[in-house]
Chain A
Amino acid sequence: MQAGTPRLTGTGMTLAYDRRTVAEDLTVAVPDRSFTVVIGPNACGKSTLLRALARMLRPTTGAVLLDGADIHRRPARQVARTLGLLPQSSIAPDGITVAELVARGRYPHQGLLRQWSREDERVVEEAMTATGVADLADRAVDELSGGQRQRVWIAMTLAQQTPLLLLDEPTTYLDIAHQIEILDLCARLHEEQGRTLVAVLHDLNHAARYATHLIAMRDGRVVAAGPPAEVVTAERVEEVFGLPCRVIEDPETGTPLVVPAARRPAAHLAPEPA
């Protein structure tokens, strides 16, 4: 579905923390200019995959290639100008204002003698406008609501000005309205600014609605990858999540909508065979 070699790929990766192997021989490609969403049950390795793609975790075998070069052989700062990451949890320093926090996204572009250029100023203002936090610029981050705070963190990663943006469960801990607000924002960044987005999401229906490319994982393997209409089928959902369901058309968007089966037959409550 995409032309040419994608900018971000992982090939033959073994991903492990200490001695615990999470995934073996994992190969993924992030289509350029896509909104790629990684889905899968808890502990399937989706966040680990994102960490590997973001240069946080070095694969024990295989490699992550960014623009054709091994991401771990490139300087961290140089990578940070191409690829941004919004981690699951970040800490807002005590008393920091929104504008100050967003400004920190400029770090990979700054130097000792180039601490705050006009370009930095302009990009930070644009990032705050794009995420709708410009009015909050002088407020302390600790005073904001969860949804506002998440928009501020996204603004910080936008200020990094990277064509590729990775988001690790950006909607966790938010109520439904704020989840949609954040996902709408992501869709806008993808469509209007042409950025390539990769997000890990928990909610299948959100994934099916917003993604242009889905990667479904289970037990450290990619089970399926492609457009949501092809990936999200009743059989696949049952295979990946062990959830019997029907897949209907989302009346709003026409994308697949997963409706869990009303009552599980007793067999599904029994432990699954290994």
Chain B
Amino acid sequence: MTVLRTPGGFSLRFRPRALAVGAGCALLAAGLGVLAIAGGDYPMTPADVLRTLLGGGTPAEEFIIHELRLPRLVTALLVGAALALAGAVFQSLVRNPLGSPDMLGFTQGASTGALIVVVLGGGSLALSGAAVASGLATGLLVSLLTWRTGVHGYRLILVGIGITAILTGVNGYLLTRAPLMDAARAVLWLTGSLDGRGWTEALPLLIVLATLAPLVLLGCGPALRMLEMGDDTAAALGVPVRRLRMVLLGAAVLLVSFAAAAAGPVSFVALTAPHLARRLTRAPGPNLLPAMCVGATLLVGADLLAQRAFTGHQLPAGAITGAIGGAYLVWLLAAQRRAGRL
């Protein structure tokens, strides 16, 4: 811990290691981003990319970067950061390292809305809108079901698992009702993909993240750290536990819903990023900001891999995060077992 104090009685406390992790991830994400922008059907050198980004490119380069590749990169960064932030919040709220929007039903909820639009036949804007709406509806349903006891760890997990199961069934049914072409499009959406994402997808998420990230990080972050020690201990320290849980649940559901609307339910980023962040910072606590940086880097890297790993054949980014995240989960469980914690 390092402390900065000013004569006016102000003081700031931070961990240099956490800052280094954040900065390192940001640098890595920038590097991967330049590589992602440089590649594709119209290859450029990283120098070309940087020159164009600084305003010195040819009209063709300007178009390719500003209209095609940059929005995709920005969407990847935002989706990764939003999912990671939501995941870190959920893991802290339920005090369980497996607590993530994938497991609690919120991603399935967002998918249901999107699938209904697919079955009824609608454009991409309607699809995004429906994903947000049904994600929020799921959040509301979960809060109502957990309202009486407060949004508590185990109850939230159990209700979430129940809702996930129901919605998985509903989603499967909706898929069988969709025309074949639309069903194929729906499956791609369900995997989570950044292909063809433009500013229309990036902008709503940018607004949501820019609003909610400060609220969560600065407004709720310190209280969330107290909540780690148990509801009673947090309440004794002056944390309004019930209100904090509702605000954080709302914020995390909004983040997940808008992220799903932008790129589909990209799996495992919300679960993996906070874990990796904690390992890297070696700090107790929710590690919200480092988790966001790790999440953004993770998704940009996954998307780069999805585009380039198999020549002539692009994968959806969600397939890569699923594969990496799944492997990480297995490793994590094995490691916990070895450490005797499971």
Contact = CB atoms under 8 A, between A and B. Distances in A.
Interface of A: 18, 54-56, 75-81, 84-96, 100, 104-105, 107-108, 110, 112-118, 157, 160
Interface stretch (B10-18, B101-109, B115-123): B10-18
B282 A104 contact: no
Contact of A55 (B230, B235, B282): B235
A157 B236 contact: yes
5 contacts: A75-B238, A90-B232, A91-B233, A93-B228, A160-B237
Contacts of B222: 107, 110, 112
Contacts of A91: 95, 228-230, 233
B9 A93 contact: no
A104 B285 CA distance: 11
A76 B238 contact: yes
Contacts of A117: 5, 9, 11
A67 to B, nearest CB: 16
A42 to B, nearest CB: 19
Contacts of B223: 107
Interface of B: 1, 3, 5, 9-13, 95, 148, 218, 222-223, 225-226, 228-230, 232-233, 235-240, 282, 284-285
Nearest to A18: B148
Contacts of A116: 1, 3, 5, 11-13
A81 B237 contact: no
Contacts of A94: 284
Contacts of B233: 87, 90-91
Contacts, number: 89
Nearest to B286: A93
A95 B12 contact: no
B10 A113 contact: yes
B238 A107 contact: yes
B285 A80 contact: no
B235 A114 contact: no
B239 to A, nearest CB: 7
Contacts of A54: 236
A170 B11 CA distance: 34
Contacts of A96: 284
Given A89-B230, A91-B228, A95-B282, A108 B235 contact: no
A75 B238 CA distance: 8
B228 to A, nearest CB: 5
A93 B284 contact: yes
Contacts of A95: 282, 284
Given A77-B238, A118-B5, 15 more contacts: A56-B232, A75-B238, A76-B238, A89-B230, A89-B232, A91-B229, A91-B230, A104-B226, A107-B237, A112-B222, A114-B11, A115-B12, A116-B3, A116-B11, A117-B9
Nearest to A85: B236
Per CB-CB distance, the 5 closest pairs between chain A and chain B, nearest first, are A80-B238, A87-B232, A77-B238, A85-B236, A93-B284
Contacts of A55: 235
B285 A93 contact: yes
Nearest to B223: A107
Contacts of B237: 80, 104-105, 107-108, 160
A157 B282 CA distance: 25
Contacts of B5: 116-118
Contacts of B9: 114, 117
Contacts of A84: 236
A105 B230 CA distance: 13
Given A89-B230, A107-B222, A76 B284 contact: no
A87 B5 CA distance: 33
Contacts of A79: 238
Contacts of B11: 113-117
Nearest to B95: A91
A97 B223 CA distance: 19
B238 A114 contact: no
Nearest to A109: B238
A100 B284 contact: yes
A94 to B, nearest CB: 6
Given A94-B284, A114-B9, A115-B12, A76 B226 contact: no
Contacts of B232: 56, 85, 87-90
A76 B244 CA distance: 12
Find the residue from B5, B13, B226, B233 having the highest chain A CB count within 10 A. B233
B10 A76 contact: no
Nearest to B97: A94
A84 B284 CA distance: 23
A91 B228 CA distance: 7
Contact of A112 (B218, B229, B240): B218
Nearest to A157: B236
Contacts of A160: 236-237
A42 B3 CA distance: 47
A112 to B, nearest CB: 6
B229 A93 contact: yes
